[in-house]
Structure 1
Amino acid sequence: MKLLLDQGLPLSATALLRNAGIDTIHVSEIGMFEAEDAEIIQISGEEERVLVTLDADFHTLLALDEATSPSIIRIRIERLRAQALTDLMLMVIAECEEELAQGSAVTVEPSRIRIRRLPLVPDV
């Protein structure tokens, strides 16, 4: 599993995740701290990385493009520090690894994890 952490998530979590055996980079490490969301999605897809973000816009962009990748984990828990984010990501990966590998939009809330397979289609 390879991760790309979006701006707004602690840079220090990158080293903690790497130490836990997860290939992780932060957008600021690759000069993308001011990149447009579409650029971040593109690089995530090219490098086959799961994008981890606080931003709902990424799910919307995937839906509009009817994209089948990359997988995105949207975190809806505020003010996570590096260790808490690391622990959360390890739990989410363990629980959702197969779905993330196949292309999914995962939303992590304080009391649940919601998984939707890509492409995202509107409920009819």
Structure 2
Amino acid sequence: MRFLLDDNVPLSVKEWFKERGIDAVKAFEVGLKGADDETIYRYAVENNFKVITLDLDFGYLFLKFQKGTVIVLRPRRAVPSEIIDLLERTFEIIKDKEGLIIVKPNKIRVIKPEG
């Protein structure tokens, strides 16, 4: 299980994963600093990463290409403490799921690839 963190995901989230022994890298660490969403998405699919993002555009990419796993975090406020809190409350539920996973404080929605 490997996670690619979009540029909009705080560095403290990477530290949260690291503290748990989970492989997570920021997009810039793999040469994708400032890359567009589709480039990041394609890299993740080709290199077997699950994308973690705050950006709904990745959801549209998943719906278009139907490959890989995209986890869209939608905290009430996009601040590090709320993002980490959302992960702490939902990670055990979402970590092994595949497809498009939209995580809100009171709801998790999973859209699996067609076919």
Q: TM-score range by the shorter chain?
A: 0.7 to 0.9
Q: Which runs of 5+ in 2 are unaligned?
A: none
State the partner residue of 2:62: 62
| Aligned partner letter, 2:87 | M
Aligned partners of 2:46 and 2:31: how far apart in 1? 16
State the partner residue of 2:10: 10
| TM-score relative to the length of structure 2 | 0.84
State the partner residue of 1:76: 74
Contact 2:73 2:83 in 1 (8 A): no
Work out the percentage of aligned pairs sharing the same amino acid. 26
State the partner residue of 2:97: 99
Aligned partners of 2:82 and 2:36: how far apart in 1? 27
Give the CA deviation at 1:4: 0.6
| TM-score relative to the length of structure 1 | 0.79
> In the TM superposition, what whole-angstrom CA distance separates every residue of 1:103-124 from its partner, at most 9, and x where no partner exists?
x10101121111111139xxxx
Contact 2:3 2:23 in 1 (8 A): yes
> In the TM superposition, what whole-angstrom CA distance separates every residue of 1:69-109 from its partner, at most 9, and x where no partner exists?
2100101112231x553453354331123323xxx101011
Aligned partners of 1:87 and 1:22: how far apart in 2? 17
Q: Which runs of 5+ in 1 are unaligned?
A: none
State the partner residue of 2:109: 114
Question: Once superposed, what is the RMSD of the aligned Cα atoms?
Answer: 2.0
| Aligned partner letter, 2:69 | S
Aligned partners of 2:111 and 2:56: how far apart in 1? 14
Q: State the structure with bigger RCO (CA 8 A, min sep 6), 1 or 2.
A: 1
Contact 2:53 2:73 in 1 (8 A): yes
| Aligned partner letter, 1:97 | K
